[in-house]
Structure formats: structure tokens, C-alpha cells
Amino acid sequence: MALLRRPLLLLLLLLTHQFLHSWIVFGSVNEEGQKQEDFFEELLLKPLPDRKLLTHFHFQSSAPPSSSNGRHHHLFPKAISQLVQKFRVKEMELSFTQGRWNYESWGGFDSIPSSNAKPPGVELWAVFDVPQHLIDAMWKNLTHTLSGLFCASINFLESSTAYSAPEWSFPPASGNLRYGTLPREAVCTENLTPWLKLLPCRDKAGISMLLDRPSIYRGFYHSQRLHLTSTGSGSEGLDPGIILEQTLTVVLLPNSQRASLARAGEKHVQPSWSLSSIFGKEVSGKCVLAETSNVYLLLDRGLVAELKQLRKENEKSAEKVSTSENNWTNPSFELSAKPDRIFIEESSLLSKNPSILYKFEVEKYSESEPFDLVLTWKIPVVWLCQQAPLHASRFLMGSGNERGAIAISLKSTQSSEGFVGANFDDERCELQVDVFQVVPWYVKVYFHSLQVFVDQQPKAVSDTIEKIHVSPSKDKESPGVMELVLKLPCSVSSAALTIEFDKGFLHIDEYPPDANQGFDIPSAIVSFPNFHASMVFLENDSLNQSPLLSKFQEKSPVMSYTEVLLVPLTTPDFSMPYNVITITCTVFALYFGSLLNALRRRVAEEERFLKDKAAKKTGRLPLLLSKLSAKLRGRQSEPPHSTPGSSSLVNSKLVFKVILIAGLAVCWQYYFS
């Protein structure tokens, strides 16, 4: 017994040892991982030229690569990490947008519009880290998961008619990319609440406390975005590290009743605002889980230049001693709180006027002393935001419900001319424009009808289009995708692309409930790969502390979305499918019956038969039989005598028929029951 027990014990000991060993290894990895998981919250405020205010919330949480599955996270939302693991998502972006970013007055060149201005409705793109043949399946599952997570109808992106695979024109160009939009998706609080749930403090503490639903949805534009990047793909059983970036961009008109009343005469004075006046709330301290919690105020290049100009004028006229040492007390506006830091943009080649960034740290404030930022304008300021080199807009041409044309017009923005010239003085001056356009299948685009107009002059397609990739639409299967690289001369003042299409006709079930409203063509993306929106702020140590500022430093190509187009399609009559079915079938029956009748009829024989019948009143079968026998015998047929048994013969035939049918029915019943 003892002998038998000893090896058992030994085995047990060995097992526990192994287990302990693995436990220790596991633990060490855990410890390494723990300190990496972090969360940042930031808010950027930026006055816009048309008296509005841009507020940009930026939350970033990241999870480092870690081992073992199903591990709990400290700060990172579990739903997202599970999603990344399950669908092997390399990079993904989901945005819910209501309203349209006004590129002309809100700018189109900064990194905020180029990465945060989104098309109306839902936009989703994802890059997968799986073999080609699995991507579509992964995409379908991902859309369903996201649809559940965010209470939106993202699952409509599942059908192959709704998404496309751009090859190179969409910026994170990669073969494993899928892109889909739902232009008509209504965005509301039900989408914001699950989005807030992903934040460690939700909207209970920190900057996210400001997210007051009525004031957000009262805005002119709001776009809630979720961007995730997974790094260090799961090699050696490690879960990938994930960086989750959640941004909410809202453009609001500050409620400036008082200011306008006070200075009724001065129309151009920008409305003064405070955080409490626009959101109705104040920030009472930071979210304790956040690494940093900052509020920034950004004055862009145009505004700074204008302020400098104003100050110079002031100095000339009043000959005052300038207070330029402390930048934050400016003669033209006043801030209620003293900024903790002032960043001045590293002067680049592009502009002599660097933008200025004021930083306020929320940490210092508390429940008793909440943070509120008030900006009061003293003198009217008029400035322009920096625009993308070309302003893109898109419209429909033609009337009627049969055909039409899509036109994308690119107009040069005047402000851009300066830096275009500066950029390409020595080189052969060419402006590269990428256009990415997806059209649903019921808008049947004729790609051969693509025409390019430069400065209102038609140009040969081969001269201006450097590269083109087209994947034509397949009925009820896939949308049409057009990717173009245009090379335009720098001196171009306007350019236009037109392409013709036929409107498709759908099955009665394929129309949405409000069929007469029309169908949406998703936004086209116009990007300028030669231009990069980046703002580099001179910082010494805290660079890696602020994800927002490091985001600004990234060189992202300037991108703009065009308008969503509404195409009315012809509708059939929805009320009477039965009438159509019955009438058509009647016509077919008419054809079949009348033609067969015409072929079957033998007028002469009918006449003879009727004559015979009238004369002799014999049964049909005996007549035929006698005819047959006469033929067999090769003699002339003799009129047969009327047989008394003819009726019984007919009867027996009838009986035979009945029996045959009954037999068939029995067989049928027997085999199929």
C-alpha cells in the first residue's frame, strides 16, 4: 500500500510544483502589465470664426499586450478587448455623426477636421489581421457585435451591398480593409450612453461630467467616434495591446444673450462663453482613474495672426506698453482662469503665425472649487480658418427618374494658394487629389462616361487622372467603388468630375418603408496626400503625457467628406401586386389557350363528324374502332350499326378512368405520407 502511495504523492508534488512555477511566471507578466493600463481624458476648446465653439472631448484608454485569455482588465473596457480578440481587428473606427462639418467656415486643414469630421450617419471601417477569405465573415460578425454594443443598426452593413473594400484611396490603405457607411442612421442618446459606458468614470466624474445630453444634441454638429488600434499581434499567446480612442466633437453656438445685449452695436464681437454656460455644468475635479485630465484652449493660426495685427494697431494708436509677457491676458479677450501652461506651435514652413494652446489642469480643482473657464471677448475679431487646398462639394445633375449624373466639384480655396506656391516652388507644380466614391448598386454608374473639367475646360481623362481603380457594381451583390488619383496643376481654380448613371429598378420588397423619400449615396472622400495636417507644439517632457497633443503631431493627410446625395428612385405601385400577377397570368393563359385551340381545331373534320353524329347518333369510340379496323383491313369504312352496348362501353371507360385516378391518389398518399 505504502509503496503504491508514495509514487502518487510524488506525482502530486511534481504537479503542484509545475503549477506553482507557471503561476509565478504568470504573476510576473501580470505585474508588468498592470502598470501599463492607463486612461487619459482631455477636452479641447476652439473658437470658430462663425461665432461658434468647437468642443472636442478626447478619451484614451490603452491596454498593453498581456498573456492568457479572459483576463480581467482594470480600466480597459472588456467588451472592446473581447471584440478585438475574437475578430482579430487590427484597426477599427466607428463614428456616429449628426449634422455636417462646415469645411468653409470651420476649417479643413487642421488635424481636428481631417480626422474628426465625419460623414453623417454611421461610418465604420476595420482592418483585420486574418487571411483574405475570412475577412468578410469577420466583418459580418463584427457589424453584429457593434450593433449590439452601440444600439444602432450597424448590422445593416453586413450585407455585401453595403460595404466595400477600397484598395488604396482610403488612408489606412491595406488589402484587409472593409469600409461601410449608413448615411441615414439617426444618432441620439441611445448611442451615446453605451459609448460612455466604455469610459472608466462614465459621465460621473472628470471631464465627461460636462456631457450634458440636451446641450450636445442642440449643437450644429456632433460626431462621436471610437477608434481602436491593436498593437503587437497575438504572438506567443499574448493578447494584443489595444489603444482605444474615444472622441466626441461638438460644434455649439454659445448662448450669448447677455453679451449681445450689452454691445448691441458691435455685431462682430464673438460671443463670450463659459463651460458652465454651454454645458450647464462645471468640472469638479478629475476622474481619479485618469492619468491626466486637461482642458486645452486652442487659438488657431488665423486667429493668432489677427490678434497680433490688432495688437499692433492698438500699440500704434494708443502707444500703450504691451502686455505680451503674459500671453493669456490679451487685450482682445480675457480668460477667467490662469492657464497652467502655454504652448506655442513650432513655427513651420507653412505659416509664420503659430497657433497657441493654453493648457488647464483639472487636477487642481475639486468639488468645492470646480473648474470653469470663461472667455470674454473685448473687441471684435474676424478671421478665417485654414482650409484644405480644394473645397470639395458634390451634387446631382439631371432630372427625372431614369438617369442622372453625379458631379464632384473641387474649388480652390484662396487661402491655400499661398502655401501651395510655397510648397512646390521648385518642383513641377502638381496637386494630387485622391477621390474615393462608393455608389450603391441601384445607382448604375457608367464608368466610361467619366469626364474631367479643369477650369471649365473638358480635359482628356488620361491627362488628369493618374491612376484609377474601379470595381463595378453587381446587382444585389456589391456596390460600385471608384478610386481615382487626380493630378491637377497648382494654379487650378476649379475642377469637376462628372459621371453618368442610370437609376435601377428594385423589387417591391427592396424598397424601404418610405420609398418616395429617395435613397442616399454615401459621401465621397476627397483627400490630399501631399498635405499633412499636423501641429507640433514645443514641449519638453510632457509629450508622452498627452495623447491629444501627440495626436496633433501625427502627420495625417488632409481629408474631407462631401455631402450625402439623395437620389429619388422610381417606385412601382406597392398596392396591387395581386392585380399584376393575375392580369399577367391571364394574358399568358390567353396566349396559350387560344393558340393551342387554333392548332387543335380541324374545321372540315368537325363538320363531317357533326354530320355523322346527326345522322347516326353513334358513340364515338365504336366509330373510331370501326374506322381503325377498316383502315387495318384496307377497306372503305362501313357505317357501323348502332350498338346497344355503347352506353355500357362508355360507362366502363368512365369507371376505368375513375379507378386509375383513385389508384394514383392512393399511390401518392402512400409514398408521400
Partner 1 sequence: MEKLKKKIGSLSFWIWVIASIIFRLILIYFPKNLNLSSRPEVSTPLTSFRRLAEGYWLKQSSMSPYAGSMYHGSPLLLPLLGPLTVKRIEGQPNHLLYSLVSVIADLVSAMLIRATGQNLQFAYLRTLESLDLVKQIEGSELRSSGNVAALIYLCNPFTIVACVGLSTSPIENMAVILCLYGACSRLIPLAAFGWVIATHLSLYPAILIIPVIFLLGRGPDAPPRKLFLQRHQQKGVLNESKLPPGFTWGPIIHFAFWALVWSVYLLVLFEPGTYGFILTVEDLSPNIGVLWYFFAEVFEFFRNFFLIVFHVNILFMILPLAIRLHHRPCYLAFVYVAICSMLKSYPSVGDSALYLGLLGWFVNELSDMQFSLFLFCGYVGVSLLSPVMHNLWIWRGTGNANFYFATAMVYACLQIVVVVEGVCAMLNHDRKLRHLITGKLHDAKS
- Cα 308 to its chain centre, rounded Å, is 41
> According to the binding rule CB under 8 A, does residue 508 interact with partner 1?
yes
> According to the binding rule CB under 8 A, does residue 596 interact with partner 1?
yes
Residue 166 Cβ vs partner 1, minimum distance, rounded to whole Å: 16
Rounded distance between C-alpha atoms, residue 464 and residue 433, angstroms:
10
> According to the binding rule CB under 8 A, does residue 509 interact with partner 1?
yes
Segment lying near partner 1 (by CB under 8 A), choices 226-234, 330-338, 438-446, 609-617: 438-446
Rg (CA), the chain: 38
Residue 460 Cβ vs partner 1, minimum distance, rounded to whole Å: 12
Q: Which of residues 366-405 bind partner 1 (CB under 8 A)?
A: 399-403
Written as nine digits, the cell of 658 is 375513375
Q: Which one among 172, 234, 370, 504 touches partner 1, defined by CB under 8 A?
A: 504
Instruction: Name the residue nearer to partner 1 (CB basis): 19 or 591.
Output: 591
Residue 582 Cβ vs partner 1, minimum distance, rounded to whole Å: 11
> According to the binding rule CB under 8 A, does residue 591 interact with partner 1?
yes
Q: What is the DSSP string of 416-474?
A: HHHHHHHHTSSS--EEEEEEEEEE-TTEEEEEEEEEEEETTEEE-HHHHEEEEEEE--B
Residues 6+ apart with CB under 8 A from 182: 121, 122, 153, 154, 156, 157, 162
Instruction: Name the residue nearer to partner 1 (CB basis): 7 or 400.
Output: 400
DSSP 537: B
Residue 503 Cβ vs partner 1, minimum distance, rounded to whole Å: 9
Query: Are the beta carbons of 373 and 366 closer than 8 angstroms?
Result: no
Segment lying near partner 1 (by CB under 8 A), choices 55-63, 210-218, 339-347, 468-476: 468-476
> According to the binding rule CB under 8 A, does residue 592 interact with partner 1?
yes
Residues 6+ apart with CB under 8 A from 88: 128, 129, 130, 138, 233
Residue 441 Cβ vs partner 1, minimum distance, rounded to whole Å: 8
Instruction: Name the residue nearer to partner 1 (CB basis): 274 or 498.
Output: 498
> According to the binding rule CB under 8 A, does residue 19 interact with partner 1?
no
Residue 436 Cβ vs partner 1, minimum distance, rounded to whole Å: 18
Segment lying near partner 1 (by CB under 8 A), choices 180-188, 553-561, 574-582, 652-660: 574-582
Residue 667 Cβ vs partner 1, minimum distance, rounded to whole Å: 24
Q: Which one among 79, 468, 485, 630 touches partner 1, defined by CB under 8 A?
A: 468
Residue 590 Cβ vs partner 1, minimum distance, rounded to whole Å: 6
| C-alpha distance from residue 593 to each of 578, 588, 596, 605, 606 (Å) | 22, 8, 5, 21, 19
Q: Which one among 466, 502, 554, 638 touches partner 1, defined by CB under 8 A?
A: 502
Q: Which of residues 599-628 bind partner 1 (CB under 8 A)?
A: 599-600, 603-604
Rounded distance between C-alpha atoms, residue 473 and residue 481, angstroms:
7
Comparing C-alpha atoms, which of 157, 159, 160, 158 is closest to residue 181?
157
Q: What is the DSSP string of 606-643?
A: HHHHHHHHHHH---HHHHHHHHHHHHHHTSPPPPPPPP
Query: Are the beta carbons of 114 and 55 closer than 8 angstroms?
Result: no
- Enumerate binding residues for partner 1 (CB under 8 A): 399-403, 441, 444, 446-449, 468, 470-477, 480, 502, 504-509, 570-573, 576-577, 580-581, 583-584, 587-588, 590-592, 594-596, 598-600, 603-604
